[in-house]
């Protein structure tokens, strides 16, 4: 590092990287976004100029080769991400990346082996547990607000921009790590285990009822908790993102029916004594700021903490590999 007080971060990716990672890291005074890399040097230079980033590269390899860069933040399709992680680790750069980690388990394993071998700090951006409403939900469950959880339903039905605009993207190609499984189910698996403990099994619907944009199944968790999962990334006016947990003495609902990805969640709880659901936390979207920046920023903060202390970040690439193994198992179950 060039200074013990200033961590120089290079960002790879002109979409999520520029929109979310750049402002998330800039919110922390311990670092500076020193370079931006994309596939096209002209577009990257234009984006860097608009963002006030001093250096632009048309190739991520050039960014990684810059001795002034201490850490790299990666926001590229999962098919491309492992190669960047491996080269960054080889050069001793700390790694912050997006989910899903890769498009295959073998590629994810190689990425994890690379960061472990190099001893660099690594983190992955599973953002939902960083949202206050999610934190409250986990706290209520752990405190026994609805008694012992018995079963749940997890629905996430929305129409993404990619589906609405019918644009060509990795997000609608399952083989590239996208589709409803890679893009959304990766979040769902991580979220469920964070809330309810280890997932032991996942039984998805027959292949004919599973498409690139939707999947339904039943998850079996530790301690006998089980529940249904229904995901669609092409649900016009869908009901949004919702988890209902039913316990021995009550029910808890975490829901976001707004089009905002991260803001707009509310928490409701009802017990047998109250006889009704009551909202205990609500956050309205509409601040004008991308709701994904703040939760990403919390992980960025822990990433910078770990760089300074040479510690470990939660969540990290090992969590990404764990989720990747579930994704491949689910996809393999639907191969003809």
- Identify the structural domains of the chain with CATH numbers, from first to last: 7-125+292-315 (3.40.50.720), 128-291 (3.30.360.10)
DSSP-assigned letter for residue 205: P
Output the pLDDT for position 335: 59
Q: Where are the beta strands (DSSP E) in 75-125?
A: 94-97, 122-124
Output the pLDDT for position 4: 58
* Sign of the torsion angle spanned by Cα atoms 22, 26, 31, 35: positive
Output the pLDDT for position 3: 46
Q: What is the C-alpha separation between 304 and 119, in angstroms, rounded? A: 15
Residue in this structure with the two tokens 């969590």, named with its chain if needed: 319
> Which of 233, 198, 117, 178 shows the shortest CA–CA distance to 95?
117
The burial class, CB within 10 Å (0-12 / 13-18 / 19+), for 211 is middle
| Biggest alpha carbon–alpha carbon distance for the chain | 63
Phi/psi at 273 (5° precision): -70, -40
Global pTM value: 0.94
Output the pLDDT for position 260: 85
pLDDT tens for the 336 residues of the chain, in order: 444 579 999 999 999 999 999 999 999 999 999 999 999 999 999 999 999 999 999 999 999 999 999 999 999 999 999 999 999 999 999 999 999 999 999 999 999 999 999 999 999 999 999 999 999 999 999 999 999 999 999 999 999 888 888 888 888 888 888 889 999 999 999 999 999 999 999 998 765 545 688 999 999 999 999 999 999 999 999 999 999 999 999 999 999 998 888 989 999 999 988 999 999 988 876 667 889 999 999 999 999 999 999 899 999 999 999 999 999 999 887 654
Q: What is the C-alpha separation between 248 and 251, in angstroms, rounded? A: 8
Residue in this structure with the two tokens 């100029």, named with its chain if needed: 49
What are the tokens at 310?
């040479």
CA 129 to chain centre: 10
CB within 8 A of 148, min separation 6: which ones?
A: 223, 247, 248
Q: Which residues are 281's β-sheet partners?
A: 267
Q: What is the C-alpha separation between 194 and 218, in angstroms, rounded? A: 17
Q: What is the C-alpha separation between 222 and 198, in angstroms, rounded? A: 5
Q: What is the C-alpha separation between 246 and 254, in angstroms, rounded? A: 12
What are the tokens at 327?
């994704």
* Sign of the torsion angle spanned by Cα atoms 90, 320, 215, 163: negative
Q: What is the C-alpha separation between 68 and 9, in angstroms, rounded? A: 9
> Which of 165, 114, 148, 132 shows the shortest CA–CA distance to 264?
132
Output the pLDDT for position 332: 81
Q: What counts of helices (H) and strands (E) characterise the chain?
A: 12, 14
> Which of 267, 99, 74 shows the shortest CA–CA distance to 184?
99
Q: Find out whether 232 and 157 touch, Cβ atoms under 8 Å.
A: yes
Q: Find out whether 122 and 101 touch, Cβ atoms under 8 Å.
A: no
Give SS3 for 32.
strand
Q: What is the C-alpha separation between 22 and 66, in angstroms, rounded? A: 18
- H or E, element range at 270: strand 266-271
């Amino acid at each position: 590092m060039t200074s013990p007080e200033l961590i120089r971060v290079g960002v790879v990716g002109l979409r999520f990287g520029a929109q979310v990672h750049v402002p998330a890291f800039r919110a922390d005074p311990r670092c500076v976004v020193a370079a931006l890399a994309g596939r096209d040097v002209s577009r990257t230079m234009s984006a860097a100029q608009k963002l006030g980033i001093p250096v632009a590269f048309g190739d991520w390899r050039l960014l990684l080769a810059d001795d002034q860069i201490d850490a790299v933040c990666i926001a590229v399709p999962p098919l491309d991400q492992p190669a960047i992680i491996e080269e960054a680790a080889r050069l001793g750069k700390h790694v912050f990346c997006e989910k899903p980690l890769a498009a295959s388990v073998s590629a994810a394993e190689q990425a994890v082996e690379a960061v472990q071998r190099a001893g660099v700090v690594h983190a992955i951006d599973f953002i939902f547990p960083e949202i206050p409403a999610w934190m409250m939900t986990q706290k209520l469950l752990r405190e026994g607000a609805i008694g012992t959880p018995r079963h749940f339903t997890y629905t996430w039905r929305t129409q993404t921009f990619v589906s609405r605009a019918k644009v060509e993207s990795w997000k609608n190609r399952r083989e590239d790590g996208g589709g409803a499984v890679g893009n959304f189910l990766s979040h769902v698996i991580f979220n469920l285990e964070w809330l309810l403990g280890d997932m032991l099994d996942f039984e998805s619907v027959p292949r004919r009822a599973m498409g690139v944009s939707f999947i339904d199944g039943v998850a079996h968790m530790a301690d006998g908790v089980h529940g249904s999962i229904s995901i669609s990334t092409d649900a016009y006016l869908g009901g949004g993102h919702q988890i209902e947990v039913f316990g021995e003495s009550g029910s808890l609902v975490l829901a976001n029916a707004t089009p905002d990805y991260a803001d707009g969640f509310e928490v409701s709880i009802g017990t047998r004594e109250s006889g009704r659901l009551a909202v205990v936390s609500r956050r309205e979207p509409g601040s004008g700021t991308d709701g994904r920046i703040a939760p990403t920023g919390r992980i960025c903060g822990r990433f910078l903490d770990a760089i300074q202390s040479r510690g470990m970040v939660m969540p990290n690439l090992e969590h990404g590999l764990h989720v990747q193994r579930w994704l491949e198992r689910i996809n393999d179950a639907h191969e003809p």
